[in-house]
């Protein structure tokens, strides 16, 4: 697990940009944090790191924004308006867990019952699915953003998967 302290929104974007430059095909970035923590700032930088020139906004009402034009397509999900796991499952978003590019999920803690558990070379995630435990075989970066002060954020992250 790694931790970074951001002292401003531009620093949060810079971290996202670094991650975007290094992002492999199939990556799922699971972002957790309170309203105003900086999740969308991180996504803006991530998109820039992928080489995407489009204006990045949170898809709060659309659920998913798709951005192309970079080295990989970016699927940006925002689950803020879905407050029950059943609503998320009914929305049919499972395909974004195995993206044809990269996926970023804001409010990921609403979908996943808990942080992934490393099991051999797979990421095992509890999904709140009627079938119970589901094994995912992709790379996931679990990111928790905590507000320290008005301008400072603690960004803790850990990678899981193949």
Residue 118 has pLDDT above 60, yes or no: no
Quote the pLDDT of residue 58.
85
Amino acid 24: pLDDT: 95
The pair of structure tokens assigned to 28 is 């799922």
**Domains defined for the chain, CATH in brackets:** 2-160 (3.40.50.300)
Confidence category of residue 110, pLDDT binned at 50, 70, 90: confident
Closest CA relative to residue 135, chosen from 150, 120, 149, 148 = 120
Mean pLDDT, range 133-162, rounded to an integer: 83
Per-position DSSP letters for 49-113, written without gaps between them? HHT--SPP---TTTSEEEE-SSSS-EEEEE-TT--SHHHHHHTT-GGGGS-SSEEEEETGGGT-S
Q: Supply the pTM of this predicted model.
A: 0.85
Q: Given a cut of 80, is residue 60 above it in pLDDT?
A: no
Cα–Cα dist 70/11, whole Å: 22
pLDDT in the model for residue 59: 83
Q: In which band, very low, low, confident or very high, does the pLDDT at 119 lie, cut at 50, 70 and 90?
A: very low
Q: What is the pLDDT of residue 120?
A: 38
Mean pLDDT of the chain: 85
Ranges assigned E (strand) in 79-139: 102-106, 117-119, 122-129, 132-136
Check whether 133 has a pLDDT greater than 50: no
Helix 39-50 to helix 9-22 angle (10° resolution) is 40
Q: Could you give the CA distance from residue 26 to residue 161 in angstroms, rounded to a whole number?
A: 11
Per-residue pLDDT at 81 exceeds 90: no
Strand partners, 4: 155
Q: What is the pLDDT of residue 156?
A: 96
- Looking at residue 114, its pLDDT comes to 60
Q: In this model, does residue 73 exceed pLDDT 70?
A: yes
What is the pLDDT averaged over residues 86-91?
85
């Amino acid at each position: 697990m790694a931790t970074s302290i951001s002292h401003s929104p531009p620093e949060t974007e810079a971290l996202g940009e670094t991650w975007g430059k290094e992002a492999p095909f199939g990556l799922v970035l699971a972002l957790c944090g309170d309203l105003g923590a900086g999740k969308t700032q991180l996504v803006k930088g991530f998109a820039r790191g992928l080489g995407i020139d489009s204006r990045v906004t949170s898809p709060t009402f659309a659920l998913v924004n798709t951005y192309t034009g970079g080295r990989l397509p970016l699927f940006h999900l925002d689950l803020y308006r879905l407050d029950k796991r059943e609503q998320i499952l009914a929305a049919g978003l499972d395909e974004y867990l195995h993206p044809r590019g990269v996926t970023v999920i804001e409010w990921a803690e609403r979908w996943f019952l808990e942080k992934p558990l490393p099991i051999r070379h797979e990421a095992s995630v509890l999904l709140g699915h009627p079938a119970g435990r589901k094994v995912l075989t992709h790379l996931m970066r679990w990111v928790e953003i905590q507000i320290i002060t008005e301008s400072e954020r603690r960004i803790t992250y850990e990678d899981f998967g193949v």
